[in-house]
Structure 1
Amino acid sequence: MEQDRSENLNEFNKIVETYVNDIRKIVFSYVKNYHSMEDITQEVFISAYKNLENFRGESSIRTWLLKIAVNKSKDYLKSWHYRKVQLTNWIIKDELVKKDVEGITISNFRDKELANLIMQLPVKYREVIILYYYQGLDTNEISSLLNLSVNTVKTRLIRSRDLVKRRFDF
């Protein structure tokens, strides 16, 4: 009995090591805060461990974990804690901007601008861009992950690309 538990834990540790960076990236794309990202990532793996026996194998482990991460991230964005953190960060950021104009000017590189632009897109467009371009998922996988039709995913990809092109000077 104890040996089975140990084997399961070792197997799960391998899963965590394999997918932790993917989960962190997708969670950060939603919450845009390092500490919250770490907390939510931990919640994702705790939830996955508790429900591993319920995993039916209809998708890959990676897709299943990403789905948990997306749902946990969306739940966090709806929470009061998130709204409170956002207000506090806005106040602090406003004070820092006033003090560090030179630092902001120096960090104004094209790649950073694009990343910031993507992070400013509405969630429904940002999530498909990140899943498609940064996580390497195809439209069918994204469709399954977000519970959307493939056509909706394709439409959101087209619209998000258009938004990026209009806002970003290529």
Structure 2
Amino acid sequence: MIESREDLDAIKQSCHSMVTRSSGLSAGAAIIPIPGVDLGSDVAILMRLIPRINEKFGLSPEQIESLDTDSKLFVMTAISNTGSKLAGKYITKKLIVTVLNKMGIKVAAKGVTKFVPLIGSAVAGSISFTAMKVMGNRHIEDCYQIALAALEEERLAHEIVIEPEPAKNSPQP
């Protein structure tokens, strides 16, 4: 459970490290000059990465479902407000492919450059690394904003309001 902004910042840093490692794997697959290998590996990488990020931020479907009704409603509204397509969702191959298609230019460019002699594979690898990094970091930022809003909402809900006591020497009506 995320109890403070410091916890949230540590989770964010940990997720950035996961994204960097996954981006390296994506780049490695992109340099293999076989059509479709890189896209297939990107889908597989994202199907593991996105649920792990969601879970670290407390935004997996199971974690959200276990919340009380008010908290669940708040989190679902926060997800909607960020426009996140991946937070709080069951991650499927179809969902990942849809998100990757929105990055279509990068995916198409990566596929074409792979066949340029000598530098093509390196360019494809760098495009793949960058696309995976951008997509992963964007998801982390969405999850961070959602979790931060939920943390602030919880803090406000548990704040104790102390009313001042009436003065002892005040005249009685």
Q: Same fold (TM over 0.5)?
A: no
TM-score by length of 2: 0.29
The structure number with the bigger radius of gyration is: 2
